[in-house]
Structure 1
């Protein structure tokens, strides 16, 4: 990129006006763009520069509905679509993160091995000044996503070419136990329409950053 790196931009949010306040930075983008990898990288780099606990990670994926709820709602085949998240619960957590500077705030995540959400994997400490949250739908115009967006200092769109995203998604699904045919069907029948929906929200984002050079899968830890 010709501009400052994402890490430098995130540090700028902490070192500029209002730097003593808690800042929430959002990352939006279609499936496989590299949002979670970038978010974890930013948290690691901010903590390295400013001290442990300065930054925290809050993934929307922690608000996936469980397999039991998806089955009850008849949405198992659309897992990852907007209706398969507890979006209002996510907004409520962001509001608490914005308001509460006195308690540890525990944050759920999604475990790809279990293929289920798990409670309290991450934590926002009272001293945390930058919260990096990421998810497909943060730039959506549909309710309740604008309520989440109002709590963000900035919202970045993570862009990666569709061919790169597709390769990442296929690898993700194969690593999760799907055979090649099933993985390709999931990408074309579910990930693709979800991604096209996400792209419509790009104009609502503060800036665009690249996710093309971020490793995904087991090797992604090398950038953290």
Structure 2
């Protein structure tokens, strides 16, 4: 059996030492003790432990514009980045799932309308960095507790189909007393379009005779959010 390459052993040892230092900083200082690339680097190192993951972490951050963009990136987009395989993609997506689960917990425990900031934090974490438009409907009971958060449609970079009849039918199926419409603008600008306003008003009118209220339509973008209710458009 050939002896191990001393240079390779040294690189492995250096990598292990670097990760140990990151681990120590994380343990003593929490997440704020690590830079963005170090957070992603350490996450990837858990999936591919015998590899220097710093270059890959920096590549991902450049490609997707930051930690939020990396965590919310589509799986196929992640796979297209040189160096990303199924295990590393899964590591990123499980981190996103855990973060969203954490943000969703307080929303499920209290009436949504009295916990508005928590709702916005949850929606921005899940939608603000998406590269295509998603339309979601939050279904609420008579106490404004969340019944269901459902994806109604997934579209292109600038539009996703919204069918009034399908939104109302689903609300009837779930016994929803009220709904909140939500969608993202991949451009980053959350300003409502004419179509956004028209479809919202159509859903409001369709829900009225059935006793289904539309509390709001929230548009999420990387540059913030807009509430059509606050804008006086509902």
Bigger share in helix: 2
TM-score (norm 1): 0.28
TM-score (norm 2): 0.27
The structure number with the bigger radius of gyration is 2
Q: Relative CO higher for 1 or 2, CA cutoff 8 Å, sep ≥ 6? A: 1
